[in-house]
Every structure is written in C-alpha cells, then in structure tokens.
Amino acid sequence: MNAGVILIDKPQGISSFQAVARVRKKTGIRKAGHTGTLDPMATGLLTICLGRATRFARFLTDAQKTYEGTITLGMETDSYDAQGKIISEKPVPRGLSRHDIQEAARRFTGRLLQAPPAFSAAKFQGRPLYKFARNGINIQKQPRPIQVFRFCIEAYESPVITFTIDCSKGTYIRSLAHDLGKALGCGAHLSSLRRIRNGELSVEKAVCLDDFIASSGPEEITRYILPVEFVLSHIPAIFVDERQATAIQHGQGMSLVSAMKRIEEQGACPQGEKPSYLRIITEGRGRLVCMARWPDTKAVIKNDDRIEILRVWNPN
C-alpha cells in the first residue's frame, strides 16, 4: 500500500518533523506529512498521511483534538512549558482547591482569541517565532480564533494540576496553562502533555514509533497503514452509484439540489443541518469517490448550483 494513514504514538524528545522523517524513511514513501504538530516535549497521537493521502490531510487537521496533561503552579517559564527558562516564581495560594481551579478554567472555555506564544513554530516574515525569541526578540502576532470545548480539572495535588482539554485546531495548550496561572495569581507552566484524540482517531489505536521502526518486511509495515476511507469515516457521507461516481471523477460534479436530496433521504446529517465537509462514496462497496464542501448558499438554491468538489480520491 503506497497511500494511507499511520497513527503514531510519538515519544517525548523528538519533533513531529523528525517523527515524520523516520516514518518516511521506513516506508520508502517520499510524500508524507502530519495533521497537527506536537512539541518535542509532548507525546501521543501523531496522524501521518502517506502518498496520495496527504491531499486529504486538511480534513483531519480541522478535527477536534483532545489532550491530557499536567500544569505546575507557582513557576512561569519563557516558553510556557517545562523546557523553558524560569522567569518568575510565586507561592501557590494556601487553601487553593480543585474547585477553585475549575472555576478559573471556565474562563478559558468557549470561543477565544489566542496569540501564538513567542516560542512557537508560527511564522513571522517566513521565520518561526522561536528563532526570534532565542535572540531575545519578542514578536507579537495577531490573536487567532480558537475554541475550547472542555477544560476539565481532573485532580489537584499542590502544585500540580492534572487536566483534560477538548479544543479546536491551532490551540496552544501551554498558553492556556500560562493564562490559568495568571488567573490564579501565582503563575504556571505546562509540565506534561499527551494528545489522546484527533477527531474520531484515538491514541489507543496508534503504534509506538520505535515499534513501527522495528517492524520487519513490507507486510508488517502495511498492517499499520490505514485506508483513507477509514480515517475519514467521522465526516457525513452520501451514497452514489458507480455511474454517478465515474461522472464525478471525470469532472461533472453534483448539483446542490441532488446533494441536498440525498442528505435528507439518506439521513447524512441531522434535519436542517448542512455539513461543512461531505464524503461522497459508492453504494455497496463504500468506496470513497471524493470530498466535497457545502458552499455558503443564498436563501434560494438554483438548479444549476453545484456542490464544491475539493478532492477526488484515486488510490492507484
């Protein structure tokens, strides 16, 4: 199999880029990329797309992420995590409880604006921010919209908080840790982080990077490569016959009226809702034909309005 997705459990101490490079070398598939960066300090689920599957990475990148980890109170670092230089130390408030921390964490749920931290891979003038920060230059980037669906304080044993977070793509967990410390009046930094979910994909189904690298022979490697159809199964789908599938793959597309009718008849979405993304698959075999996007439509849909075809899947 020269196209698909591998779920890797990334160890601590290497970058996401280094993990991808090791998978690329092991598989011999030159085209490879991940769907969301994990800092070297972080462990957990790194979803790596191979070959033609890289064209579908965006649909996994946009998925909700779940993390678990720890925050240490009383100490701030310049990078907001345990790998940075200590810049401030304050005593943790006496009598601080898990309930108090949970109440403070509620301020950082919902739709938020968050600026990338100085020590991050976000770009300024084509260079990552951390390269400026290492030279003592602090670049302030414009805040970007994020969403924190859940910020749950699982346990607290001073000075360490154990938490779980569900959030949108692009959320910096160490920034949330830093902001929580500010809200509690004692400062804080992220002391450990593990990604456990990316959309419907779980780290429980991932293979440890070292185990994957140690695998022998094409057959053992192939068993770790998941088909694109499987990893996109969380996205609503409509079914077409083989004749319609061939027409779509040859550029004829599909009308919005036809797509809407199928959504309603096949129960692809809750009534009245229109999906952001849509899978078009074949009846019977369930073969992925393409990924489509529901456009921002006017109140009245005309017969010649078309659904936007984003990616046509051809595994060969």
217: left (phi over 0), alpha (psi -120 to 50) or beta: left
- What does the alpha-carbon distance between residue 150 and residue 66 come to, in Å, rounded to a whole number? 9
Per-residue model confidence as pLDDT tens for the chain (316 residues): 678 999 999 999 999 999 999 999 999 999 999 998 898 999 999 999 999 999 999 888 888 999 999 999 999 999 899 999 999 999 999 999 999 999 999 999 999 999 878 766 666 667 666 676 676 767 677 889 999 999 999 999 999 999 999 999 999 999 999 999 999 999 999 999 999 999 899 999 999 999 999 988 888 889 999 998 889 888 888 888 889 888 888 888 888 778 878 877 777 776 666 677 888 888 877 889 989 887 765 454 555 677 888 888 876 6
Phi/psi of residue 257, nearest 5 degrees: -60, -45
Are residues 100 and 184 both part of a single domain? yes
What is the CATH number for 20?
A: 3.30.2350.10
Quote the number of domains for the chain.
3
Residues linked to residue 76 through DSSP beta bridges, in sequence order: 88
C-beta separation of 228 from 5 below 8 A = yes
Q: Which of 9, 39, 78, 179 is catalytic?
A: 39
Are residues 74 and 187 both part of a single domain? yes
Q: Which of 199, 200, 108, 203 is nearest to 152 (CA)?
A: 108
The residue among 183, 198, 213 that closes a domain is 198
Q: Is 62 a catalytic residue?
A: no
- In this prediction the pTM is 0.88
- What does the alpha-carbon distance between residue 138 and residue 287 come to, in Å, rounded to a whole number? 49
Q: Which domain holds residue 178?
A: 65-198
